[in-house]
Structure 1
Amino acid sequence: MKDTSTSPAGTSTPAADRARTAARHELDRLWAAGTDFLGTEYAILGGAMSWVSERHLVSAISNAGGFGVIACGAMSPELLETEIAATQALTTKPFGVNLITMHPQLEDLVQVCLRAGVGHIVLAGGIPPSSAIRAIREGGARVIAFAPALVLAKRLIRMGVDALVIEGAEAGGHVGPVSLTVLAQEILPHITEVPVFVAGGIARGDAIVGFLEQGAAGAQLGTRFAAAAESIAHPRFKEAFIRANARDALTSVQLDPRFPVIPVRGLVNDGSQRFLTHQAETLRRFQAGELSKDEAQLEIEHFWAGALRRAVIDGDVETGSVMAGQSVGMVRSVQSVEDIIAELVDQAVEALIRRSDRREH
């Protein structure tokens, strides 16, 4: 039996050092497709979170060896240009920009990214238009898109995207109905043409290793980074994450199928309860003829207007929208981005050491 323990003084033995070095080389091999594509040391992306994924957090992730992603959200082209320049002032490492495909100025936003020399553009919020994919690639950048099903993954590859993200329902914010565990089994064995990054509910490095061994190129994390020291989120927002358990991060409830509610995962609070009351009152007014169907739908959709900013920036975690993934249960403290990434890598390496030990013994 090999000795991979540490000495009584706590220093590593030569055998342990060799095992760790071998495991780190194996990790580098497993996510090489991801690191090569992103141009980073680690194939760890920051999820694009509105109000959170801005210059400070994005640059911190990139400086720590990961890949930060600016959340453009509803920004104007002028605001995005400013945010990219501010991020470039804080890091010389690669980072990307997440654009919402439904943004009315999508083409202008793409051009802002290209002029600024952004190398990777993430298109989110629906099937991206072919014109945007073509413009990005002709401008010398790479396109990343979200694939919620195998058939769509294949379609996106035919459209010319350079990489995919498959995001499970465990994620925070706007989510689809399928868990990452199922999506990984559905998609990873069949998509080898482009790198595929996994997202949703990931908070540990050993979990990342499991998906890498299934064929993933890397992982995207949001919730853990939202509570990082460099995140501009309000201290009360971060404290809510630290207090929460996985079961506290639920998707929004829809009362009537005639009035669809986009599923958004966040921490249940007074706002969640008031939303149910608001839906019930809106339905009563619709049935009483006080509101048309379109008016009622708008009443429901407008309930959360500004609620994410209230929670993230103002710290209103009682009535604001505290978007969080189920991995929030593994957020135990406010850590620096560098420490979070180092911890993830260490957990991944330890998992590979354990697997190697089991094979040898």
Structure 2
Amino acid sequence: MDNRVTRLLGIQYPIIQAGMVWTSGWKLASAVSNAGGLGLIGSGSMYPEILREHIRKCKSATDKPFGVNVPLLYPDIEQHMQIIVEEGVRIVFTSGGSPSKWTPFLKSHGITVVHVVPGAKYAMKAEQAGCDAVVAEGFEAGGHNGREETTTMCLIPLVCAAVQIPVIAAGGIASGRAMMAAFALGAEGVQIGTRFVATHEASSHPAFKQAVVQAQEGDTMLTLKKLVPVRLLKNAFFQQVQEAENRCASVEELKNLLGRSRAKKGMFEGDLENGELEIGQICALVREIKPAAEVVKEIWEEFCRVRRQIVEMKLA
């Protein structure tokens, strides 16, 4: 496909693998890039030198474009940004903060910048900051989420109407049909997280991958709204958080309950009861762990098939 997203990122298919903590290392990023999409290294769970190692291994594993996702609230962000420049990364996706500070820095080094937003007003700010594109991420998405709880179906046309730069849809997308729906709403690409968690190359724990493919409708919920809203699989830790929120626990108490390593404990170490299990609603439709390249191929082929069907309906 030739559109603004594929040209901007230098990729064959407008399919971007989300840069997820404890899941998106160099193996997953390079596999997606080699398959024709854009792989992203999730730097939010990496110490600076670990990020450097992953970038170098990714460069050795693919000659295709790949990028790094950087949460802007990360404590070592200065070191991360310097490493990204030093290692010659050409694409950065930012999230979880204002893009106004770091976008000019990245652009000054010739880096393409895409920012993840939960609403149209944030998309306009990203465009004003100089971002090349935005990812409009709906309420269905796993992990950290917008307080407005706007669903993808509503969010995509709102953001497309608000900005001139390309819009990439995210949240509840794991198939070619969903990708086609996002394009019908005005998106020119999709960013997919949950479906790529259930792949062989994802660095998440096998037990977490199994929990994802076994999840049913209603097994995830948005919580921790007093801190930073996050969508989680329901487990013992989730129940603790819900109980604390129901009795109006303070922000400080919630921070203590969350601790420093809950996501690592659940997603990387496989503690399915006491860990934080970040995943999207669409996990209810994910039923198999398979190679990342196969996921890209299936999504693209289904997208093309559905697009042909729609054209044939118009001609009938």
TM range (shorter): over 0.9
Local SS of the residue matching 1:140: coil
Spell out, residue by residue over 1:210-236, the C-alpha distance to the aligned partner (whole angstroms, 9 max, x if none): 222332120000000001111122221
Whether the 8 Å contact between 1:227 and 1:335 is mirrored in structure 2 is yes
The alpha-carbon distance between structure 1 residues 281 and 358, as it changes in their structure 2 partners (threshold 3 A), is closer
Whether the 8 Å contact between 1:282 and 1:299 is mirrored in structure 2 is no
Q: Distance in 2 between matches of 1:221 and 1:175?
A: 14
The alpha-carbon distance between structure 1 residues 247 and 279, as it changes in their structure 2 partners (threshold 3 A), is closer
Q: Distance in 1 between matches of 2:81 and 2:203?
A: 26
Letter in 2 for 1:322: L
The alpha-carbon distance between structure 1 residues 252 and 36, as it changes in their structure 2 partners (threshold 3 A), is same
Give me the CA root mean square deviation. 1.8
Spell out, residue by residue over 1:241-296, the C-alpha distance to the aligned partner (whole angstroms, 9 max, x if none): 11112311111266xxxxx242210111111112234557894xxxxxxxxxxxx5
Letter in 2 for 1:143: V
Asked whether 1:269 is paired with 2:235, we answer yes
Deviation at 1:74, TM superposition (A): 4.8
Q: Distance in 2 between matches of 1:107 and 1:270?
A: 36
Deviation at 1:327, TM superposition (A): 0.6
Tell me the equivalent position of 1:187.
Answer: 159
Tell me the equivalent position of 2:104.
Answer: 134
The alpha-carbon distance between structure 1 residues 142 and 250, as it changes in their structure 2 partners (threshold 3 A), is same
Deviation at 1:56, TM superposition (A): 1.1
Asked whether 1:330 is paired with 2:259, we answer no
Letter in 1 for 2:74: H
- Among 263, 266, 273, the residue aligned to 1:311: 266
Q: Distance in 2 between matches of 1:261 and 1:110?
A: 25
Whether the 8 Å contact between 2:99 and 2:129 is mirrored in structure 1 is no
Local SS of the residue matching 2:68: strand
Asked whether 1:49 is paired with 2:20, we answer yes
Letter in 1 for 2:235: N
Tell me the equivalent position of 1:5.
Answer: none
Give the aligned length. Answer: 313
Q: Distance in 1 between matches of 2:224 and 2:62?
A: 40
The alpha-carbon distance between structure 1 residues 205 and 280, as it changes in their structure 2 partners (threshold 3 A), is closer
Whether the 8 Å contact between 1:312 and 1:322 is mirrored in structure 2 is yes
Larger radius of gyration: 1
Fraction of identical pairs, as percent: 31
Segments of 4+ moved more than 3 angstroms:
276-283
Tell me the equivalent position of 1:345.
Answer: 300
Tell me the equivalent position of 1:301.
Answer: 255
Tell me the equivalent position of 2:181.
Answer: 210
Scaled by the length of structure 2, the TM-score of the pair is 0.93
Q: Distance in 2 between matches of 1:230 and 1:84?
A: 16
Tell me the equivalent position of 2:32.
Answer: 61
- Among 95, 117, 129, the residue aligned to 1:147: 117
Q: Distance in 1 between matches of 2:236 and 2:92?
A: 36
Whether the 8 Å contact between 1:147 and 1:166 is mirrored in structure 2 is yes
Q: Distance in 1 between matches of 2:243 and 2:119?
A: 34
Tell me the equivalent position of 1:221.
Answer: 192
- Among 232, 242, 263, the residue aligned to 2:203: 232
Spell out, residue by residue over 1:177-201, the C-alpha distance to the aligned partner (whole angstroms, 9 max, x if none): 2111111121113423x21101000
Whether the 8 Å contact between 1:37 and 1:195 is mirrored in structure 2 is no
Whether the 8 Å contact between 1:282 and 1:300 is mirrored in structure 2 is no
Q: Distance in 2 between matches of 1:41 and 1:178?
A: 30
Asked whether 1:200 is paired with 2:171, we answer yes
Letter in 2 for 1:156: A
Whether the 8 Å contact between 1:252 and 1:261 is mirrored in structure 2 is no
The alpha-carbon distance between structure 1 residues 56 and 138, as it changes in their structure 2 partners (threshold 3 A), is same
Residue ranges of structure 2 left out of the alignment (5+ in a row): none
Tell me the equivalent position of 2:145.
Answer: 175
Whether the 8 Å contact between 2:195 and 2:283 is mirrored in structure 1 is yes
Whether the 8 Å contact between 2:223 and 2:242 is mirrored in structure 1 is no
Residue ranges of structure 1 left out of the alignment (5+ in a row): 1-27, 255-259, 284-295
Letter in 1 for 2:254: I
